Amino acid sequence: MTVYVRSLETAVPTTKLIQSEARDVFAAQPGLSRLGSRLVSTCFDSAAIETRYTAVQELTNTSRSENPQFYDQESGLLLNPSTKVRNDIFAREATKLFVEASRAALQAAPEFDLLDITHLVTVSCTGFFNPGPDYKVVRELGLNPAVQRYHLGFMGCYAAFPALRAAKLFCEADPNAVVLVVCAELCSLHVRTSNDPDTIMGSALFADGAAAAVVTARPDVAETALMKLDHFETVLTPVGEDSMAWNIGDNGFEMVLGNYVPHIIDDHIVGALQPLLAREPELAALPYAAITHWAIHPGGRSILDKVQSRLDLSDIQLVPARETLRNYGNMSSATVLFVLKHILEQPMEDGQPHGDGRICSMAFGPGLTVETGLFTKLRQPTAGAQGPGQEDTAENVELLPGRAPAEASLA
């Protein structure tokens, strides 16, 4: 049975952060040691990020708050709110992104009525509330109250893959199933000033965003679907459990992102790909670069560098991942879906109206976990759809009532 991604859409908050200006604010904090100040400059400058988006509107020079919780513009100080304060903002702001991305994905698949959705899978690792985002999406969009709901929480940057894999299994079990998958992350809620290298690296990399996909095996979508979901595999590397982690602290969630992670990926990426490519022996016999598209989760610039070098991929094959990182930063689970959307929006090659090659995709997360997927690109989205390759995405997405786009910077 062929399982299709009928639509894939993205959304980001309306507040844009400029990387160089964010660097200057973090570097100016009075509690930094001399080494900490140097690390801030190095991490921000080497991240290969130009802009990111945040749901924390007070992190701008245009939005004044009488009782600032994250950033006091008058003193220039970054504040350190409690986990409860951060999580309360997550419950409010993440709901907007979950709904916005979901609505966009459903509008991009107009042949489906809202009541056609049979399953809903929501994903996030940056906050908790209950009734959760699955409930909110059903209520806000008017889905069938009997829709089967599943929430994948606290898995990290690779969680879009278990969500898509679950959607594929639902569709294989029920040929009439239509599954809405939506990832939304507010990583910027957990940034803070610190002399800790892992915390500094997280502050330089992480951002907010959401992505949603409509997945189905109904044969009537074969002529309009964007890609096929072919195979998924999961591999745990033999080392790395202590090198990447995501813990809950008293003042937000705490990232462990050791500088040895790129080396672990360098050592184990070939072995992690073997189970996936073995599903199709003709691909396993080819050089990696023979696979047309690579949708790699841009966990950081050095990770992309290691993957490209180890697999001997071309600069062109890394463009979707590097442009996503440059324009949006690392949005945890949603990020690889931004990369996939970038690939889907690339023009089709002449003579190949039904696709220009396979897509090999991968993401990395705590454990160290490597999730991989093999897909087939079928066609581009319909004309007029906005994509993550466009720098003004925050102004192009369909906004919720009462939300106005605004570009600002942390300064």
Cα gap 32→194, rounded to integer Å: 7
43 is catalytic: no
The maximal CA–CA distance of the chain, rounded, in angstroms, is 63
| Identified catalytic residue from 157, 171, 183, 187 | 157
* CA 285 vs CA 268, 282, 311, 326, 357: distances in Å: 19, 5, 14, 33, 16
Locate tokens 């969630």: which residue?
253
Tokens 């959307």: give the residue. Answer: 341
HSE value, Cβ hemisphere, 13 Å, CA-based, for 160: 32
What is the C-alpha to C-alpha distance for residues 359 and 344, in angstroms, rounded to an integer?
10
Listed residue (327, 324, 322) closest to 337, CA to CA: 324
Measured in residues, the chain has a length of 411
Identify which of 136, 145, 151, 156 has the alpha carbon closest to the alpha carbon of residue 92.
136
Instruction: Give the type of residue at 2.
Output: T
**Residue 230 exposed, middle or buried by CB count within 10 Å (0-12, 13-18, 19+):** middle
Non-local CB neighbours of 392 within 8 Å, separated by 6+ positions: none
In angstroms, rounded to a whole number, what is the distance separating the alpha carbons of residues 134 and 118? 13
Nearest residue to 310 (alpha-carbon basis) of 329, 288, 326: 288
| Residues with a known catalytic role | 157
